[in-house]
Amino acid sequence: MAEDLDVKTALAQSVATRWQERRLSLRSPLDALAPLRPGRPAKPDLVPPTQVARRSLHTPHGRIALLHAIAHIELNAVDLALDIVARFAAAPMPQSFFDGWMQVAFEEAKHFNLVRGRLHALDADYGDLPAHDGLWQAAHDTRNDLTARLAVVPLILEARGLDVTPSLLLKMREVGDDESAAVLDIIYEDEKKHVAIGAKWFRFICAREGKDAAATFRLLVRANFRGGLKPPFNDLARAAAGLTPTFYRALTSQNMS
């Protein structure tokens, strides 16, 4: 529920560390439910995705706009990782499931602070530009179904980062912003692990229920995700994370129309 960004990221990392040290337990059914919306600062203004401007990386303002969008994604990712632990605390999952998402929360907080540091270096800050609420909407839409949450958040939304980050890295280096490129490189390497955690546990639940993982993924995405998936896909990075083309190739915009 923290609205202050420094408090939120510090608490996220503290909670993850205490969890890994086995100094915390999962919430009990007697505890308050996880909030429907996380605490956020008053800014940025949230607008429809179509109103979030796309900008060229060849100008400082364009790079600020891109970094701002990435910071927004990473802040949402902190809340998403902690939400899957709190909201599904009673799910019949091994402790290592929760270990994985606590590690994700720790790393997403690290990513947010790194990107925010780059914004500060460019005389900007998170909240200066509008952002959209699509990521949290995806969490809200899957709040009652752990398998759907895994399908949509790590295996669609985070996997998208594997597709787009390598080209963004190259463009940042081309325009001489090596500092931002170094941050994106850290995020890219960590996101591979995050998608792998999502794929591991999605496959685990499907196997336990005797379901075909790829077919179940396609069914859940069609039911819970607005719009088709857009190529190009980073097939190598996705496959290394356990997300093979049989999962998503049939879900491209053309195939879903």
Across the chain, which has 257 residues, the per-10-residue mean pLDDT values are 96 98 87 88 89 81 95 96 94 96 98 98 97 88 95 95 95 96 97 97 98 96 86 94 93 59
Task: Write down the pTM of the prediction.
Answer: 0.94
Pick the CATH number of 5-20+51-256 from 3.50.50.60, 1.20.1260.10, 3.40.50.300, 3.30.1280.10: 1.20.1260.10
How far apart (Å, rounded) are the C-alpha atoms in residues 185 and 173? Answer: 11
How far apart (Å, rounded) are the C-alpha atoms in residues 171 and 175? Answer: 6
Question: Domain residues of the chain, as ranges?
Answer: 5-20+51-256
For 40, the 3-state DSSP assignment is coil
Neighbours of 39 (CB within 10 A): 12
Asked if omega into 49 is within 30° of 0 (cis), the reply is no
Pure H helices in the chain: 5-20, 60-87, 95-121, 134-141, 146-152, 159-174, 178-208, 213-224, 235-240, 245-248, 253-256
